[in-house]
A and B are shown apart, each in its own frame.
Chain A
Amino acid sequence: MDFDFLIKFSPMFIQASWLTLKLAIYGVFFSFLVGLLCIGVSYFKFSFLNTICKIYIEFSRNTPLLIQLFFLYYALPEFGIHLSSFTCAVIGLSFLGGSYMAESLRAGMEAVKKQQYESGLSLGLSKWQNFRYVIMPQALGIAMPSISANIIFLLKETSVVSIIALADLVYVAKDLIGLYYKSNEALFALVLCYLILILPLSLVLNRIEKRLNYV
């Protein structure tokens, strides 16, 4: 193991980790929004929108992110839509993650008992207030384990963005292996960076899960 080499190239890895983290934060934020939107649509029973949401969920769950990114990055410019690779990656991640979030939030919502909803109504809450104050807090608590699994999944899934020329960890590692044939060092740094990113996150999420577990 050549540690001088590692130290020399550590700024690249730090930058790449930062990019991965940034992508994951954007991705998680937007996919959570998309997920909320999807279950909001099904909660308020907009039947037409609901069908669209269902089609979207099934489509994005059953196709790999890699090819979704390819589609966004290479196919859309043919119609005059030019997105930067970072935007593409964020859109792709939220497209994929949104459906996963929607599924876990829906499962959480279905687990909330029907009486809760009805007693909310009988207290004089409107449908929206019921959603906001009664159903969602409980559903979030129930869905938190699968939401945190989704967050980790999204962070791991960012590893394919190197195909649309974003210099993430995989890209840097592949570069170094190709240029200097230092596979030991590059692989070591790759594994280490992902460990540093994912382990603390999973511990924090575990804590949050325990906090939110009222039921």
Chain B
Amino acid sequence: MFEILNQDTFFRLAQGLKVTLELSFISVLISLVGGVFFGILMHSKNKFLYAFCRFMLEFVRIMPLIVWLFVVHFGLAKWFGWHLSALGSSVIVFSIWGVFEMMDLVRSSLASIPKHQYESGLSLGFNKFEVYLFIIIPLSLRRLLPMSINLFTRIIKSTSVIYLIGGIELIKVGQQVIELNLFQNSYTAFVIYGLILLIYFVLCYPLSVYSKFLEKKWS
């Protein structure tokens, strides 16, 4: 039953895992930078900017990610003739999705800081920059960090859907391994899919434990 767990299989799965990890890493990085930028914009007092950000957030949130992947992957090819690879279109979709989700988290953590924190900072003689540097940013980081780690685990989990637009990642590689070994071993699908489940679990579980730990420590 377990004889397919040889070096070849692990090597192939590791290749698939590399794609999954690369994709998640790039998307997380972009959404981190973009999310902080847009979050600060959204927190600013400008009503027009707020409405724009809010609209984009709802717009991105209301559709399943797969629909966005379809729209980007097949739509861009049809409308502009950009034949992106599956990975290219998924980087675009995941980054946009991540940026706007992250934006909301940044906004809510900034908004959660009571107003008297600003005021007491100012009354202690800090200037505006120092208030942000020493009071607002550390305080909001404590709320932001656990939530954003949760978002990152969601991004890692969601990368599995690029299988549907033909991306060669962990699951696709797993299927190739299964097809190769189907006739020698009748429990192949069970072992390989179980292994992939475990791999995702190993990737995401430490992150979610860490975010729970931070939440408890800082609440």
- A: which residues have CB within 8 A of B? 58-59, 61-64, 66-68, 70-71, 74-76, 78-79, 156-157, 159-160, 162-163, 170, 173-174, 177, 183-184, 186-187, 190-191, 194-195, 198-199, 202
Contacts and interface: CB of A to CB of B under 8 A. Distances in A.
B55 to A, nearest CB: 14
B122 interface: no
B196 A194 contact: no
Interface residues of B, number: 36
A162 to B, nearest CB: 7
Interface string B98-113: 0000000000000000
A159 B64 CA distance: 7
Contacts of B190: 71, 75-76, 78-79
Interface stretch (B73-81, B125-133, B136-144): B73-81
B204 A63 contact: yes
Given A67-B160, A160-B164, A174-B70, A187 B64 contact: no
A65 B62 CA distance: 19
B157 A156 contact: no
B29 interface: no
B163 interface: yes
A170 B164 contact: yes
Nearest to B203: A62
Contacts of B201: 59, 62-63
A184 B78 CA distance: 8
B153 A195 contact: no
26 contacts: A61-B204, A62-B157, A62-B200, A62-B205, A63-B157, A63-B200, A64-B160, A67-B160, A67-B171, A67-B197, A68-B197, A74-B189, A156-B64, A156-B65, A157-B64, A163-B164, A170-B64, A170-B66, A170-B70, A174-B70, A183-B74, A183-B78, A187-B70, A187-B71, A187-B75, A190-B70
A67 B196 contact: yes
A174 B205 CA distance: 33
B208 A62 contact: yes
Nearest to A70: B193
Nearest to A69: B193
A63 to B, nearest CB: 5
Interface string B178-219: 100000001101100110110011011100100000000000
B81 to A, nearest CB: 12
B82 to A, nearest CB: 13
A181 B210 CA distance: 46
